[in-house]
Amino acid sequence: MAGTGRSSRSRVSSSRDGIDGDAVPLRPTPNFRPQRGSRGRGRGRNQTSIGTFNVDLKVLLGLSAIAFFAVLYLIINLMTHAEQAQTPRVVTPFPAPKLMDLPQFQGEHKESLYWGTYRPNVYLGIRARTPRSLIAGLMWIGIKDGRYFMRHVCQDSDDLSKYGWAQHDGRSFGHQVIVDQDMNLGTSFLKSKGEDSGYGGDWAVQIDVQNHKSRGNEEASRSAHLFFYLADEDGNTLNLGGDTLDSHENPLLASGSRMDIGNWQLHLKSLDDLEVHYAGFKTPHIHNLSDLVQETLGLQVRKFGRLQLPDTYVDSPNILVFQISARAPFRTDVAFISGTRLESSRVEERVSSLTGTSLTNQLKEKQREFDTKFEKSFNLVDKVDSESIVAGKAAIANLLGGIGYFFGQSKIGVSGDMLPGSHDNSILYWPAELYTAVPSRPFFPRGFLWDEGFHQLLIWRWDTHISLDIIGHWLDLMNIDGWIPREQILGVEALSKVPSDFVTQLPTNGNPPALLLALRDLVHGLKKNKFTAAESDAISSFVERAFVRLEAWFQWFNTTQSGKEVGSYYWHGRDNITNRELNPKTLTSGLDDYPRASHPSEDERHVDLRCWMLLAADCLHSIAELFEKENKSAKEYSATVKLLSDFEVLNQMHYDDAYGTYLDFGNHTEKVRLVWKETMTGHNYATRELVREVLESPKLRLVPHIGPVSLFPFIGRIIPADSKVLEKQLDIISNRSILWTDFGLRSLAKTSSLYMKYNTEHDAPYWRGPIWMNMNYMILSSLYHYSRVDGPYREKARTIYDDLRGNLIRNVVKNYHKSGFFWEQYDQKNGKGKGARVFNGWTSLVLLIMAEAYSS
């Protein structure tokens, strides 16, 4: 994951929204004007026939020569253009049927997931799973220290006391609680599909505004200002319901028409007295919508001294914003009705069913259904206390509520010879859609490849069909070489959260194939008949079609990330010329600044990647056996599994007797440090910079840093249950001087020379000590395994497992109830959450730890 100490996730420092917005930049339009040529007339016939012939012959020969060279030039030009026109391999889709074209993802399944809270980057955002959607969302004005601030996009600088989904089923329902200073906002989302509905059905939002504190101070008693908006990304005109809007007399806010859902209407209903104002805009820059609203409000305040929209709109607006103002407490319902053109559409009846008491009752029923499904899926009643159950529900709800839909083109870095004549060393991937969970709504509201593998460990246990849908979208992003871009920054909204320096993806760099963790579970469940008939059919058809892509993915790793020795691998992409990093980062591994060999080279062997390759080979072997693929495939993967699980070969390559654990191998020295160096710039101005100083020549050796990487053979269960090596791993895990704390396991041993060391002047330690939930979950999973198999260390494994599980649950739950959030990582000294807050990605694995749900 990423934070301030890491460039791969590129956490963006967000500033508070002010009432004045920025101007939208204009885009220049290139011009092209063809040039004309001219040709002179021939001379008249006033000469003898012989003279005329001589002139014509010379002209003819000249023209022939010109024509020859012109044709030759054209041929060469056409050949050059033809070569350039060929799509580079890196942006050529994998040549196989797409997983998302499977019948199981069409029809009812596709329509049932059409609408959703698929804009995780905003506090409440609704859209459809289509590239150019009708989108909806909520803004409000927060008050702090007498100043107004616009709330819309999730950002840490808003300093909200709490926000997140208390319940969410991933399909048709969600309830969110937001605490902003003295104001409590409850936002609920509900979908409904009836016979008269258009494609995707209808939906409703209920907004409940309360004073958080009972004190009757001036700030708390002021009117609350909400802004509910609709915007059409296709530019279709939105029609205002009327010049005067009223939740009692004229509840129709807007109407319009789209190809996908037909005619539609938006209605506002409330039993409270609301003041409603509006503004209409026309712009393709929907991601800057809060700027437009702020500019408009700022103008109104300066001109008239009123904090309200002007009740005006431009011609043919594609955005309508409705300001809903009232004194708290109040409640209002917004209902979206599709397919309103039909005579039998029963609009009034459908609006009534999605507002008022009817909506409230349906939301209560959905909450009960969520609770029932939660208990059935995770069975926590006899395993943890009530506070843990509340946190567990929030974990799965926020993960499901954080699922987003994105559409766009990734930017891919390429070498200059791939784009002759171009000054830009990047090229766009094909236009693609992605349906995925996200790690963090304010910091990382987009798809990350290896994170998604951990997300799916939870999601498949909740809804197998949603999980397959997400994994299918990811695998369909594979190119012809078997490569998948590891960070998906698709669409303008996603791009707006990422600095331009971190947008480009490099096709030489991979990311752990963690999606295979979920696929392995699904395949194992098939073999053990753990699923319903419908689920089994869906998984079987999915995995069978996915097999060719999984093979290509495996081969990409096997050829591009292989080491010098058979069965060795290393993460490519480390900087071998930097003089600014204490230890060059390995962003591709997902573990960022976790220390590897001090001097990156082709001699490296990374033990974690070797174990990921074992997982991949084992998963492919299981699928090949399950579907009786050709014997050649099954035998090849079986041989690879045998090689990579060979205990003796593993020990020869990576085991260190002195440390009693597994280590990376490479060109390394421990005598490296960061020192201040003074340099002179122009005008004899002296500057200081922190640079790396190497005090001895590196040599090929095992790299003496202990952490989660060292435990990957333990995680992969390669170590025999009766081996003394297993006992040594258990000792390392439970040793307080190495990895053990009262809050979870450190990400780097306390004994390491780089423990909690900055990697550059500004890169704080990231994977050099703090506690990460994904690694702790994987280690805990193997402790659980070794505590249940016969062997001399079974009881020892059980004791460590119970203590570690208790520590992790207790600390995460305590932090959740104290801060209101899940955190990216936890401090190894005091257990406090740190890094990105509102991190509902793999920290949600604490729920599986509560449920003791691990891979078999």
The DSSP output letter for 76 is H
Measured CA to CA, the distance from residue 503 to residue 578 in angstroms comes to 21
Measured CA to CA, the distance from residue 121 to residue 156 in angstroms comes to 12
Query: Helix 607-626 and helix 533-560: axis angle, to 10°?
Result: 140
Assess contact for 6 and 766: CB atoms under 8 A: yes
CA dihedral 821, 822, 825, 826 (to 10 degrees): 70
Measured CA to CA, the distance from residue 483 to residue 268 in angstroms comes to 48
| Strand 312-313, strand 275-281: pairing | parallel
| Strand 665-668, strand 699-702: pairing | antiparallel
Closest by alpha carbon to 541, among 193, 59, 105, 78?
A: 105
CA 619 to chain centre: 24
Catalytic residue from among 182, 433, 452, 824: 824
Catalytic residue from among 476, 592, 664, 827: 592
The DSSP output letter for 254 is E
CA dihedral 513, 518, 522, 525 (to 10 degrees): 120
Assess contact for 595 and 752: CB atoms under 8 A: yes
The residue to which tokens 């208990």 are assigned: 375
Using CB atoms within 10 A of its CB, is residue 156 exposed (0-12), middle (13-18) or buried (19+)? middle
Q: Is the peptide bond before 329 cis (omega within 30 degrees of 0)?
A: yes
Query: Which stretches within 86-215 are classed as H helix?
Result: 107-112
User: What's the CA angle centered on 404, arms 400 and 408, to 5 degrees?
Assistant: 160
The structure tokens listed for 729 are: 């791993």
Measured CA to CA, the distance from residue 437 to residue 447 in angstroms comes to 7
Measured CA to CA, the distance from residue 513 to residue 750 in angstroms comes to 29
Measured CA to CA, the distance from residue 514 to residue 518 in angstroms comes to 8
Query: Helix 515-527 and helix 449-462: axis angle, to 10°?
Result: 30
Measured CA to CA, the distance from residue 358 to residue 650 in angstroms comes to 63
The structure tokens listed for 648 are: 């003796």
Element (H, E) at 775: helix 773-786
Measured CA to CA, the distance from residue 502 to residue 366 in angstroms comes to 41
Using CB atoms within 10 A of its CB, is residue 649 exposed (0-12), middle (13-18) or buried (19+)? middle
Closest by alpha carbon to 395, among 840, 31, 855, 851?
A: 840
The residue to which tokens 């082709």 are assigned: 602
Distances (CA, A) of 824 to 174, 818, 820: 23, 16, 13
The structure tokens listed for 224 are: 């609350």
521 is known as an active-site residue: no
Cβ-based neighbours of 677, under 8 Å, separated by 6 or more:
688, 689, 690, 691
Assess contact for 715 and 779: CB atoms under 8 A: yes
Phi-psi region of 855 (alpha: psi -120 to 50; beta: other; left: phi over 0): beta
Element (H, E) at 800: helix 794-819
Q: Which SS3 state, helix, strand or coil, does residue 609 take? A: helix
Partners of 159 in the β-ladder: none
Query: Which stretches within 249-383 are classed as H helix?
Result: 289-304, 347-353, 356-378
824 is known as an active-site residue: yes
Active-site annotation, residues: 592, 824
